[in-house]
Amino acid sequence: MALLELKNVEAAYGNIKALKGISLSVPEGKIVTLIGANGAGKSTTMKTIMGVMKPVAGEVIFKGENISGKKTHRIVKRGLVLVPEGRQILQNMTVRENLEMGAFQRKDEKEIAEDLTKVFERFPRLFERQTQLGGTLSGGEQQMLAIGRAMMAKPEVMLLDEPSMGLAPLVVQQIFDVIKDINKMGTTVLLVEQNARKALQIADYAYVMETGRIVMEGPAQEVASNPDVMAAYLGGRKKQ
């Protein structure tokens, strides 16, 4: 069953149409990735799902309900959470305070405390630095904090927008391992990622986006072996 669906979604910045009839499906328990070049519309897709942008046409369906244009905090409360591009942590708050902010809509204090412990177990570095200000962390630590903060909201679906951007290769591997673990623990994942090779390695299903349109979709392994995808995104050579 699809937890999250986009049906012919269009979105625009003024007169410039950024999404031109996007349709995609994120089944429960799976990792779905959306790959494409800069400017393809991947981040716009995420913003539209989360209510940051209102679609001019089409529907965003979550758990069978049309959430198009709803307020972002209401979407989060329903169980959809975004780890935004650029991390957007609260620079002048401590690591612990950042994590607690992730649970700001929850009232179950005992479970919040248990989930905070789980985040610290998953990210020992954050436990060590829990009293440090978020802005003093390295890029990799900030990304861990952004993911940990999203985990504190206890989402059913986690959206990740370019989680590997600007990170060293070793840290990138750690982040992708974490995404796999989060999925194994029962959270459905929609992953937007420029590192197509890594994304396709962990995803179950993939969509390829170009200039506001989905141009290809299929099981991730099939998409990864497509010669056009190999040439455009994986550094392979297109067959003549």
CATH number at residue 101: 3.40.50.300
Q: Which residues are bridge partners to 206 per DSSP? A: 33, 218
Has this prediction a pTM greater than 0.85?
Answer: yes
The boundaries of the domain holding residue 179 are 2-233
Alpha-carbon distance values, 93 to 90, 113, 125, 130, 135 (Å)? 6, 18, 17, 10, 8
Number of domains in the chain: 1
Partners of 158 in the β-ladder: 81, 189
Q: Is residue 174 part of a domain?
A: yes
The structure tokens listed for 126 are: 């954050």
Amino acid at 125: R
Residue 200 lies in a domain: yes
**25 occurs within a structural domain:** yes
Confidence of residue 236 (pLDDT cuts 50, 70, 90): low
Within 8 A by CB and 6+ apart from 235, the residues are: 197
Most confident of 5-9, 37-41, 86-90, 233-237: 5-9
Residue 208 has pLDDT above 80, yes or no: yes
Bridge partner list, 60: 6
- Among the ranges given (84-98, 131-145, 157-171, 222-236), the one the predictor scored with the smallest mean pLDDT: 222-236
Q: Say if residue 124 is exposed, middle or buried (CB neighbours under 10 Å; 0-12, 13-18, 19+).
A: exposed
Say if residue 152's pLDDT is above 80: yes
Average of per-residue pLDDT across 224-234: 87
Cα within 13 Å of Cα(137), Cβ side: 30
Whether pLDDT at 206 is above 60:
yes
Is position 239 within any domain?
Answer: no
Kindly state the percentage of the chain with pLDDT values over 90: 80
Q: Is residue 195 part of a domain?
A: yes
Cα distances from 207 to residues 22, 32, 52, 114, in angstroms, run 10, 8, 22, 35
**In-domain check, residue 240:** no
For CA atoms 104, 108, 113, 115, give the dihedral sign.
negative
* pLDDT at residue 69, rounded to an integer: 83
Strand 205-210: give its sheet, edge to edge. Answer: 80-83, 157-161, 188-192, 31-36, 205-210, 213-219
pLDDT digit string, tens, across residues 60-76: 999 999 999 899 999 99
Each residue's pLDDT tens digit, 157-203: 999 999 999 888 888 999 999 999 999 999 999 999 989 999 999 99
Residue 216, domain member (yes or no): yes
User: Is residue 131 in some structural domain?
Assistant: yes
> What is the reported pLDDT for 233?
81
